[in-house]
Amino acid sequence: MNHRSHKGDQDQKKLHGIVVPMITPFRGKGMSEVDHEGFEKLSQFLIEGGVNALMVNGTSGEFLMQSFDERKAAVRTVVKAARGRVPVIAGISEASTINAISLGQDAEDAGADAILATGPIYYKTTNDGLFGHYASLLKAVSLPLMIYNIPSWIGYNIPAVLVKKLEERHPGRIYGVKFTTSDLELFLEYLRILKNLVPVTIGADALILSALQLGAAGATVGCANVLPGDTSAIYRLFVKQRYAEAIEAQEKIDGFVQVMGLGTFPASLKEGLRFLGLDCGQVRPPLVPLGVTEAKAVRESLSWKKLTQGSSATAAGK
């Protein structure tokens, strides 16, 4: 295992701003192949759009639809495409600690800057088991760990006090938190408990600005796949204290955010990218592409972008 120092480039690599959980481009019959050329084009499009970090193998990336080898190869492709311009966070979420460690060690060897993990998937453990899961990852992999709390998908909440305990036991090793929730009261509890200890990002696309106003370090949101520049503008305007413009920027993406849940996620993200000129294939079965009515709603939500874009997405797809 390549235990590298992660103390250099602290400002750039500290969790902040807009992190994009990348979709995984597929191609071939039944979406049977990962499109690595598509990954490279998407990475370039997102970096040019101003995002602060790339995340591979998250929920938007259909990670559970892929083999271990595909997931490992995806990390290597994105690390290479990023060329150190932004941090790359590798998702390693798994049901078993052993499998998560294997993915984490490979991500470290591939040159990722951090790893991302939900709690164990499908099987539920105790808080002691959850703490042990994360502690084992930190022991086996020297990369910083980003904790992914998504109760609506995993089926349970990761207590903020558990994250605090991990940081206290492993100082400086917790990269941050992605908390996907529409419950701002619960999100605020996270911010209070982890204040000055661990950066917390919101995973709810409609609440980026609201979370920043409460003290979030940024947002980790799927809409940034399709609207990287417009989503990043919310953060940039907020930190510059241009609050009225930040509100307008949040409102600008709201139409697309409202249709993101159509069909089987992340089908709407891939439809949006296709509409703007960057074809990343369809979702992998048993997920299904959007129907005609749903696809039309996505396209209509982005019609303003199609009319005003300077062809950056199209250029990236050439």
| Catalytic entry in 13, 178, 270, 305 | 178
Rounded Cα gap, residues 152 and 18, in angstroms: 22
Our answer to whether residue 178 is catalytic in this structure is yes
In DSSP terms, 27 is beta-bridged to 33
| Residue found by looking up tokens 């529409």 in the block | 182
What b/e sequence results for 119-148 when a residue is b if at least 16 CB atoms lie within 10 Å of its CB, and e otherwise? Answer: bbbeeeeeeeebbebbbebbebbbbbbbbb
The active-site residue, picked from 148, 175, 190, 235, is 148
Question: What is the per-residue burial (b if ≥16 Cβ within 10 Å, else e) of 34-45?
Answer: bbbebbbbbbbb
Burial of residue 315 (CB within 10 Å: 0-12, 13-18, 19+) is middle
What is the spatial distance between Cα 267 and Cα 24, in angstroms, rounded to a whole number?
Answer: 11
Question: Is the Cβ–Cβ distance between 270 and 23 less than 8 Å?
Answer: yes
Q: Is 148 annotated as catalytic? A: yes
Q: Which of 82, 284, 257, 12 is CA-nearest to residue 249?
A: 257
Tell me the residue type at 238: F
- Asked if 78 contacts 39 with a C-beta cutoff of 8 angstroms, the reply is yes
Answer whether 140's CB lies under 8 Å from 103's CB.
Answer: no
Nearest Cα to Cα of residue 145 among 110, 176, 112:
176
How far out from the chain centre does Cα 307 lie?
27
Would you please indicate which residues are annotated as catalytic (active-site) residues? 148, 178
